[in-house]
Every structure is written in C-alpha cells, then in structure tokens.
C-alpha cells in the first residue's frame, strides 16, 4: 500500500521541477528577446526573474553581468561576475569579466591579474590575449604587449590583428623598419583591412625620402632701419633603418637693409649648408650636426643634440639637451657657443615645460656705457622659461598656456638685442583642425614685459656711479601665426604667415612650402 504513495510523491516532485524549469525558461526567453530588441532594462529584469526562481542559474548571472557591462555599469557587472566566481574560482567567463570591468575602471593591475588567470585556465581562448595586450599598452608596457601578441601567433599564425599589433608596438618604440615587416604580413592575411592599410602607409612614409622646398618673404624693422629678405630653403630627409637617419639642408638668403637716412643702405647674399645625422633607439635620439657658409667662409653650426623620453605610470617625460655653436645673426657676423636644455612632463591634458640656456657671444663689439666697457670681447648671457599648457578640446585641438621667461646679457652692444634682466609673462592660444586632406593651424600669444636699464646721473663721481638702475615696463609684445596645408597623395603643400611686434621691433613672414615622399 505504501508504493502508490511513494509514486504519487515522486510524480508531484517531478511536476514541480518541470513547472520550475518551465518558469525559468519562460523568463529566460523573455530576457533574450528583450535584449535582441535593445530593451536592456527589461532584459535585465527578466533574467533576474530567473534568479528569483533558481539563484544558482549560471546563464542568468552571466547574462545580467554582460548586460550591465554593455550599459557601462561596471560596478554592477562586477557584482554578478562575483556571484559566478564564488561558485567556481576557475570560471574563465568570470575572470575575463573581472579583467574587462577593471580595465574600464582604470584598475589596470587588477585587470592584468584576472586576464592572466583566465589565460592560465583556458589558454586556447584567443580573445583574452588581445584584451590583455590592450591593458599592457595602456600601462605603457609595450614589450609585454608585444610578447602577448607573439603568444597568439604561436597558437595560430593567421591572426592579422596579432601581426599588426606587434608592428604597432615596434612602431611606437621607434623601430619603423621592423614594424614594416609585421604590417606587411598582416596585410597579406587581411588585404581589405583599412586600418592596417593606413598604418602601413604611415610607416612607409616615415621611411621614405622626404624632399622639401620653401620660399619665404621676411620683413624686419627697427627705429633706424628695415630689412627685406627673400629666403629659399631646400632639404632632404631619410630614415635609413630603425637606428639611423640623416638630413641635408641648404639655405639661400637675399637681403636688403634700408636705413632711414639712406646713408648706409646695403644688401647681402648669404648661403648656409648643413647636415644632420641621428642615431635612434627606443627612448633616445642622439644627433650631430655641422653647417658652413661659402659666402661668409666660415662654419655656421656644429654640436650635439640628445633627446630622451620615458613614461612613469601615466606621466610622459621628455628631455632635450643641445650644445654647440650657432652663427645666429649673419647680418653682423655674430655667433655664439651655447648649451640649452628643455624638460617637459605631460599628464592627460596638462603639459609642463621648463627650459634653460647659457650662451657666450664670441668676439663681439661691446659698447656698454654702464659697465664702461668698449671693446671686442665675449658677451655671456643666460635665460630660462616655464610654460604650463592645457588642452581644452580634442577636435579641433585647442590648447591654452601661460608662461614666464627671463633673459639677461652681461653687456650691451649695438649689433643685436641685449636686454638686462628681461622678464616676460604671457598667455597663448593654439588651434589645430584637420578635415580629410586639409589642415589649419593657428596660434596667438601676448606677453607683458619688463627690462632693466640705467639712467645717467649728471653729478656722478665715477664711471659706474654715473647711472642708476631703472625699470622699463612698457615692452609688451604679441605674435600670431597661421598655416593652411593640403595633402595630395605623396605631395603636400602649405601656405603660412606670421607677425611679431613689440615697441622696438617687428617682423612679418609669408612662406610657401612643398614636401614630397618617395
């Protein structure tokens, strides 16, 4: 007699299980259909109904977690991935979910840990390798990202994205020749991929011969004279391989200096030829340069330049050190020995630049009345500058900056501008906008300035007591530049103009430039 009761209990139990399964599948089906329609909120509610009936349902937990992730609610997505992880700490879906969420939340170390765990438990799943490579890229660990892309190719050499990924890492590490080889392999596998095509062309252009030519008209004026100059510049640059590049340059200047009294008008031809060779590594570029003028029968420049860059977390650092000789004002045969350094730190939209220099004008005519020095002698000078820049917009690229600078010469001279303790404080604005093959760049700067000068005292008792220190405050200056460019296949053109003005000096420049890539 007990047997029929047992069968009846089993029947009711089976019916209950069937009803529960029917209910979960009903809500699961509604959740799936809502998701297909793009009604994410309803989809989440329906999947949560499944969990109300069966709180161990794996598919519902995963669906809800993925839906929250798609809505960029990463904290809530993490909560549901955690429900899966509590049951099985080796579940790859949960581990990859953690990796993706922590990546979006900027917790890159945690993201790295969980993607590496997922790869450890399921090494055959390829997408998680790509995800981990992206994390390493954001951390600035490009070598690690390159190793991950290489791991993908060890499993399957047909992934064009992995070949291109390795190429991109080499390119970002200043090795375009090696990058080219990997991008060419990627293009063989995916010849219609426009991103790969674009990046490959960019690398080829960087390794191309780049000839250039420009023609400029320059007008300078001071209180006693004006200079009108027609300047031609020609250049050829070539990146030979990952580690070596060179450039060859030539300048020809035809200038006329017109004095207001017409007594000393004159003209001048000046030529300058210089070459530059660079040794390039991942984070450093060491260059040497040498220039000479046939018209003036002298060297015009020589020296070394060292540029280094590195990252610390999300901060990018760059240092630029130069020293050598520069024949900077050939109208009066003036040159100088110098050393200069510029250091910059960039964090997100902020950039701080600090620069300093020290120079010595060589064998110059000194006419410093305050110092009572009238002779042919060296003229030391020094200066520094500090600029803080902030990016307002990404497109167009708009930057604003504030700056402070200082420049001081030991002696005065009539041959070039020699300020005492000149201080400039100013603001600037720059804009860059590109549209297909066109671009426009413009900037404007305004500076408030002050210089020291010495006023003569009639009853002074000795030469350097005949003057008293004064400040000249009205030396405000402004400058503006604009350039419009157009690219046509392997040739680009640009037309530009600039103007600078302060109470004592002003200059204007109009130029046309053409560049090629072959």
Residue 222 is predicted with a pLDDT of 87
In a domain, 212, yes or no: no
- CA–CA dist 134, 128 (Å, integer): 10
Q: What is the 3-state secondary structure of 417-440?
A: CCCEEEEEEEEEEEEEEEECCEEE
- CA–CA dist 351, 236 (Å, integer): 32
In a domain, 428, yes or no: yes
Q: Extract the residue ranges of the chain whose pLDDT is less than 50.
A: 1-2, 7-8, 10-20, 462
In a domain, 158, yes or no: yes
Q: Indicate the DSSP class of residue 331.
A: G
Packing angle of the helix pair 176-189, 160-172 (nearest 10 deg): 170
Q: Is 173 helix (H, G, I), strand (E, B) or coil?
A: coil
Residue indicated by tokens 């009294």: 261
For 141-174, give the DSSP string. Answer: -HHHHHHHHHHHHHH-TT-HHHHHHHHHHHHHTT
Same domain? For 41 and 155 the reply is yes
In a domain, 215, yes or no: no
Same domain? For 71 and 151 the reply is yes
In a domain, 4, yes or no: no
> What's the pTM?
0.81
Same domain? For 44 and 176 the reply is yes
Length of the chain: 518
Same domain? For 233 and 162 the reply is no
Task: Look at strands 225-239 and 209-221 and give their pairing.
Answer: antiparallel
Same domain? For 456 and 388 the reply is yes
Q: Which residues are 397's β-sheet partners?
A: 432
Same domain? For 139 and 30 the reply is yes
Same domain? For 500 and 353 the reply is yes
State the CATH number of the domain containing residue 454.
2.40.160
In a domain, 394, yes or no: yes
Same domain? For 291 and 337 the reply is yes
User: What are residue 399's phi and psi, to 5 degrees?
Assistant: -120, 140
Q: Indicate the DSSP class of residue 125.
A: -
Q: Which residues are 481's β-sheet partners?
A: 443, 498
In a domain, 221, yes or no: no
Q: Residue 105 in contact with residue 74, Cβ under 8 Å?
A: yes
Question: What is the enclosing helix (H) or strand (E) of 112?
Answer: helix 108-121
Same domain? For 167 and 266 the reply is no
Residue 459 is predicted with a pLDDT of 57
Same domain? For 258 and 191 the reply is no
User: What are residue 171's phi and psi, to 5 degrees?
Assistant: -65, -45
Residue 19 is predicted with a pLDDT of 44
Same domain? For 157 and 250 the reply is no
In a domain, 214, yes or no: no
Domain that holds residue 254: 229-516
Same domain? For 159 and 247 the reply is no
Residue 12 is predicted with a pLDDT of 45
Own/partner contacts of 246-251, CB < 8 Å, gap of 24 or more, are: 246/275, 246/276, 246/277, 246/278, 247/275, 247/276, 248/275, 249/273, 249/274, 249/275, 249/276
């Amino acid at each position: 007699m007990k047997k029929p009761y047992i069968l009846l209990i089993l029947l009711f139990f089976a019916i209950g299980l069937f009803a529960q399964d029917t209910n979960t599948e009903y809500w699961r089906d509604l959740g799936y259909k809502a998701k297909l329609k793009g009604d994410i909120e309803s989809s989440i509610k329906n999947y949560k109904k499944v969990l109300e009936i069966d709180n161990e349902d794996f598919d519902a937990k995963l669906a809800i977690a993925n839906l929250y992730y798609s809505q960029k609610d990463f904290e809530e997505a993490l909560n549901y991935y955690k429900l899966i992880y509590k049951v099985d700490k080796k579940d790859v879906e949960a581990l990859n979910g953690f990796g993706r969420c922590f990546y979006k939340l900027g917790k890159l170390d945690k993201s790295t840990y969980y993607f590496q765990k997922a790869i450890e438990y399921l090494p055959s799943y390829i997408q998680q390798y790509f995800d981990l490579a992206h994390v390493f890229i954001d951390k600035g660990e490009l070598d690690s990202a390159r190793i991950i892309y290489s791991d993908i190719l060890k499993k399957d050499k047909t992934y064009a994205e992995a070949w291109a990924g390795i190429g991109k890492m080499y390119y970002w590490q200043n090795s375009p020749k090696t990058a080219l080889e990997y991008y060419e392999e990627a293009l063989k596998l995916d010849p219609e991929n426009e991103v790969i095509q674009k990046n490959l062309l960019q690398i080829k252009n960087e390794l191309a011969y780049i000839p250039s030519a420009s023609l400029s008209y320059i007008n300078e004026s001071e209180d006693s004279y004006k200079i009108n100059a027609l300047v031609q510049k020609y250049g050829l640059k070539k990146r030979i391989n990952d580690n070596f590049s060179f450039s060859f340059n030539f300048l020809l200047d035809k200038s006329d200096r017109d004095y207001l009294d017409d007594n000393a008008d004159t003209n001048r031809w000046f030529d300058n030829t210089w070459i530059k060779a660079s040794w390039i590594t991942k984070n450093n570029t060491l260059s040497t340069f040498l220039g000479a003028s046939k018209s003036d029968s002298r060297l015009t420049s020589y020296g070394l330049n060292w540029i280094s860059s590195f990252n610390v977390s999300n901060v990018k650092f760059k240092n630029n050190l130069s020293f050598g000789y520069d024949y900077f004002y050939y109208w009066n045969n003036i040159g100088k020995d110098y050393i200069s350094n510029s250091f910059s730190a960039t964090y997100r939209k902020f950039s701080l630049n600090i620069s300093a220099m020290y120079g010595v004008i060589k064998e110059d005519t000194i006419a410093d009345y305050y110092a009572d020095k009238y002779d042919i002698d060296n003229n030391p000078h020094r200066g520094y500058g500090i600029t803080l820049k902030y990016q307002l917009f990404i497109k167009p690229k708009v930057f604003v900056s504030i700056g402070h600078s200082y420049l001081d010469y030991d002696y005065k001279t009539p041959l070039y501008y020699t300020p005492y303790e000149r201080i400039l404080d100013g603001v600037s604005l720059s804009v860059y906008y590109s549209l297909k093959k066109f671009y426009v760049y413009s900037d404007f700067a305004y500076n408030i300035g002050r210089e020291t000068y010495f006023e003569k005292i009639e009853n002074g008792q000795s030469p350097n007591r005949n003057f008293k220190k004064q400040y000249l405050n009205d030396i405000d200056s402004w400058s503006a530049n604009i350039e419009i460019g157009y690219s046509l296949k392997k040739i680009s053109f640009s037309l530009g103009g600039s103007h600078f003005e302060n109470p004592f000096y002003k200059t204007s420049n109009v130029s046309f430039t053409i560049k090629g890539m072959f």
